[in-house]
Structure 1
Amino acid sequence: MKVGLTILGIGILVIGLAKMGASTSAGQTTASPIRSSSALTESAGTVNIEQNNLDLGDIPIGGGTVNATFYFTNTGDEPIVLTSGKTSCMCTEAVVTTADGAVSPKILMQGHGSSGVLDMVVASGERASVVATFDPMAHGPNALGPITRDVILATNSKTHPDVRFTFRGNVVKE
């Protein structure tokens, strides 16, 4: 009797784990991020952001989402690993795309549905992009005025362990 229950329990556990591993989001078209075991090793890679502190100007509250696109290059001699990411507010999400076309999972505010784990490699000399998407209606129809939002990427770089991409705007009535 005990052996039968134990085998049944193990079977249920195996099926549950298999289903968790096989689950995907409907319609998801992102590539799998590159996995690296060097995420825990500090890198001499450095991050150079081409343009930061973007000003999006006036953002009509009912005009739909707007994007802020940032580019950065690993100007160091070693690859860097983007270990995780988060945004400063639930109204903002982001994705990273590397030169080889790998696209990260959605980066969200911590605690809002994303693990934040990226584990993507940016090779020495490689250029990558971060696209932040801001939803002006996320806080409701009366959330007008100036906004500042960030996308923060954690890396294994000795000189740039955290990289912050910032954009600003002014949410206005249409």
Structure 2
Amino acid sequence: MAQITISAVAIAAAALILVPVFTFTRGSVAAAGDPIGMPNCVTSCGDVEVPYPFGIGANTSCYLPGFNLTCDNNTSSSPRLLLDADGTLQVLQMEEAFSLGLLKAQHSGGVKIDLDAHGNGNGTFSSWLGKGGPYTLTNRVNELILIGCNMQATVKRGNISVASCTSLCDGYPMWRNFVF
């Protein structure tokens, strides 16, 4: 039997919290009025303040390895602080909690999944985190949104499923071949 490929798109990871794999040390978070970054370094983008060890731009003395961010000023609205170079992961907020650095970020865009004749397929939306980098998804406050019919999305950490979402629409034939 010939294999049939059907394209489907899942909208995934609408909002997530990233936990950089480091802890703040005493004095690494500035008190009110103190500088939050290294001298002569940009420390904000739009409404988001960027504390050290994070930094913006090409000056490598402004941030630790893996903590470089991009400020996208090429938008019609306010500047966007980006974690990844391709602009799919926007940093909305940065804070310290429980001695951990927390980033609240939003992933925009879909995940292209090529399905075989049996409706099975794989797609990855976590590639923007990078392997071996300083970030990991937190165990809480993540959202997974799946749009489409007769689809299932599963988030795995290694071989363990940590979240799943299923959409069944057999009663609605108009949605069967819907592609975003």
Q: TM-score, normalised by structure 1?
A: 0.29
Determine which structure has the larger helix proportion and give its number.
1
